[in-house]
Amino acid sequence: MNRRQFLAGSAMAAAGSLLGAGCATGRTAPGAKPFEISLAEWSYHKALFGREMSHLDFPKVARQQHGIDAIELVNQFFADKATNHAYLAEFKRRAEGEGVAIKLIMCDDEGALGDPDPALRQLAAIQHRKWADAAAYFGCHSIRVNAEAGHIGTPEEQQKRAAEGLRMLTEYCAELGLYCIVENHGGLASNGKWLQGLMKRVDHPRAGLLPDLGNWYDYDRYLGVTEMMPYARAVSAKTHDFDATGNCVETDYRRMMGIILKAGYHRWMGIEYEGEHLSEVEGVNASKRLLVRLQDELGGTARRTA
């Protein structure tokens, strides 16, 4: 596959993404599931970093170990393969063979979109582009990026810089039919009001947010998710520990789902198990059981078709 063929495939995927986005804001399906379940690759970070599992095997693990047919990738696990078209084609072939859809790529270590140096902000936006190309080829709806570059200057100054870098990258993503979404990932980016302000500064329909239910630190998680939901294009269902009844200890998931569904979100809840007391397989299964139970309990909620 040469670059022209690869980009042609990306353009076709982009057209499908745009169609999907239109449906997501259209009709409702009464009685359908109130949300869908996907699996974030970070749930297996120990096995992947420990080379007990290959990135290429992730679609098979999602389907055969957990019965999940949608996945969210982490670029750290194929960091040198973003422009390796043969590798991307093989991963896509394996995912399609398992009947697994690839929904987004979480991007790290490509420079700071809010870097104080304007040249480095621009470079970061350019370095992320290869992951947008890969996401379009896979048929993803989004890439997830980080918005902060450390505590340099005032929060407003950092927000302005991050908005500039994010806008540059979002404009590129828009050409591919992708959303460019920011996660609450520490520092100012784990402040719901700051993220709201960031979205207002970027002011682009293809810019959005990815609320992680667990990455809140000293900020109220329920308030933070409430503030992020108007811009949400995906949600990370972070879990660490479970009680004897199967509920998440650190997050009241029923309360969270009330916030999420009230905002009109009925898309993907990406399982992201990060605990220490269960194995990764057991932690993902416990997370899925919790989400399936909530699907059943909240099943009367109309879901937007997507």
3-state secondary structure of 297: helix
In a domain, 220, yes or no: yes
In a domain, 24, yes or no: no
The alpha carbon of 21 is separated from its chain's Cα centroid by a whole number of angstroms, namely 15
In a domain, 28, yes or no: no
What's residue 90's pLDDT?
98
In a domain, 23, yes or no: no
| CATH code, domain carrying 198 | 3.20.20.150
Structural domain boundaries, residue 210: 3-10+33-304
In a domain, 18, yes or no: no
**Residue-by-residue pLDDT tens, the chain, 306 positions:** 444 344 445 444 444 433 333 323 333 454 589 999 999 999 999 999 999 999 999 999 999 999 999 999 999 999 999 999 999 999 999 999 999 999 999 999 999 999 999 999 999 999 999 999 999 999 999 999 998 766 678 999 999 999 999 999 999 999 999 999 999 988 889 999 999 999 999 999 999 999 999 999 899 999 999 999 999 999 999 999 999 999 999 999 999 999 999 999 999 999 999 999 999 999 999 999 999 999 999 986 544 433
Count how many domains the chain has.
Answer: 1
pTM for this model (two decimals): 0.88
What's residue 304's pLDDT?
43
What's residue 25's pLDDT?
33
Q: Label each residue of 215-282 as H, E or C.
A: CCCCCCHHHHHHHHHHHECCEEEEECCECCCCCECCCCHHHHHHHHHHCCCCCEEEEEECCCCCCHHH
